[in-house]
Amino acid sequence: MIIGVPKEIKNNEFRVGMTPGGAREFVAHGHTVLVEKAAGEGSSFSDDEYRAAGAELIETAAEVFARADMIVKVKEPQAVELERLRQGQILYTYLHLAPDLPQTQGLIKSGSVGIAYETVELPNRSLPLLAPMSEVAGRMAAQVGAP
């Protein structure tokens, strides 16, 4: 499988959908990982770290979307990214669909397969990908709200 990691383009989003360690694991299991150049900079991961992990560095997000079978992101796809998704392509990211009808419609139109981190559930009904983010948000809320 070809897995693509584009740079996040949502305003003030500096995280990246995959660490170099994650890329190394995928490559070790026979997958190809495409990472848009500078995708990890906001999270302090250099292009050299991705290259050393076996990922291929790609110039543009458009090429990452065009070549990948699965796109791994952090935030919901922005309008330009929705246009790049295609039939059968897997999108793995936080989606937050409830308040966002245009995104929902764009995903349906694309024919892609959306897997939302916030809906991944274990047999015990826990949400392993949402729980850490909720914990961080809860701790930050007091700091942000403090005068």
Q: Indicate the SS3 state at residue 115.
A: strand
How many whole angstroms separate alpha carbon 145 and alpha carbon 147? 6
76 and 103 in contact (C-beta within 8 Å)?
yes
pLDDT in tens, 68-87: 999 999 999 999 999 999 99
Q: Domains in the chain and their CATH numbers?
A: 2-120 (3.40.50.720)
How many whole angstroms separate alpha carbon 70 and alpha carbon 89? 6
pLDDT in tens, 72-129: 999 999 999 999 999 999 999 999 898 899 999 999 999 999 999 999 999 999 888 8
In order of 8, 117, 135, 142, 145, the CA distances from 139 in angstroms are 24, 20, 6, 6, 11
How much is the pTM? 0.89
How many whole angstroms separate alpha carbon 65 and alpha carbon 81? 8
